[in-house]
Amino acid sequence: MKKLILFDLDGTLLDTLEDLAEAVNHALALRGLPLHSLEEYRSMVGHGVRNLVKQALEASLPPHSGLDPESDALIDDALADFKEYYQAHIDVHTHPYPGMPELLADLQARGVQLAVASNKFQEGTEYLVQKLFPEISFVAILGNRPGWPLKPDPGIVQEVLRCSGVAPADALMVGDSPTDMRTAANGGIEALAVTWGYRTAEELAGNHLVTSVPALRIELLGFYVSQPMSTAPSAFETPLQQLVYEKFTSANIPFTRVDTDPGITMEDCAHISARIGVDIVKTIFLCNRQQTDFYLYVTSHDKPFVTREFCGALGIPRVSFASAEKLWELTGVRVGATTILSGVWPACAGVHLVMDASIAAFDWFACTDGTPTCFVKLRTRDLLEKYLAGREIVQI
């Protein structure tokens, strides 16, 4: 684990695009110039607000307008209007990317030093970081300051390293642009490129890409799986999760569970399976075209789902994946947490339960408990004969 992580701000920690776009469009409108869309601004940000305003002017000025987009006077005048508007509306739409505050808090709890290295003007950088991440103690919050060069100059990296006392080998930069990647390289530190910001994966090609905040969490902290436990969670995330453990108690079913980071990919499930000692099953929620018949189908984690084979085994018309709304309504879970343990959910009474015969024959069964962050292991016999007593389960 790295000892120091430098985060870019716009497009990495925060989605600031809409507020930036509205402020530049305000400056353009004052001059009677054409405005730009949010997507057009996506490729302009990341090089400081002066460059942002300059690019917007260049794209808006009509040919033969008589105005020079390279004119310092024109850019400075528009920049002043931009700043006045932006400073008054800097946090109207701006927000952290989902999961980012929690990730920063967990990194801080692990003793990792955190810093912000941005090309946004210093006052705006400090204001947004302190307002939107009030619980995080950053070792440095650095933006565009008079007399200091912008990224990709390595000066900002070197300053953070001095503030933290960390060696370059123990530092990492996380950003959403080629500029961030060059900054890290120039500063002699490693980097991760995130794709949820303002640059495409194609623009970031050749770098170590991270496609989501949960994936970044795993990159920085590793995939978390707790030690096995035999007690219910101290607090329940959903009504179904509470019902699951109440049923375990009332039916006298021993179980083992682990708390985890969100189990999303096959690799995540492999981490969980290794800790719990049995492969996690895959459960699919299906329905017919008329959405009158629904199926919870339990199969091996690595077995591809083939509609023709499934329908042929049951002698039913073609089925497809049911909607997230129906999943929640009929099984009490969100996407990513589908489980046959929903069989005790009242609204699930009319849902057909289907299981591969190979799964039913195995001694142990492991699945999510109705949340993407908790997985349980119990004897397959207990599942079929006690937990789902009274429910018909078709084996195919």
Q: Which residues are catalytic?
A: 8
CA distance 63 to 89: 32
CA distance 389 to 51: 67
CA distance 62 to 73: 18
CA distance 13 to 184: 17
CA distance 384 to 328: 23
Can you tell me whether residue 187 is helix, strand or coil? helix
Radius of gyration of the chain, Cα coordinates, nearest whole angstrom: 26
Q: CA angle 383-265-332, nearest 5°?
A: 45
Are 97 and 196 in contact by the 8 Å Cβ rule? The answer is yes
Residues 6+ apart with CB under 8 A from 149: 155
C-alpha count within 13 angstroms, C-beta hemisphere, residue 58: 12
Are 228 and 257 in contact by the 8 Å Cβ rule? The answer is yes
Q: Which helix (H) or strand (E) segment is 164 a member of? A: helix 155-164
Give the max Cα distance, the chain: 84
**β 282-288/140-144 pair status:** unpaired
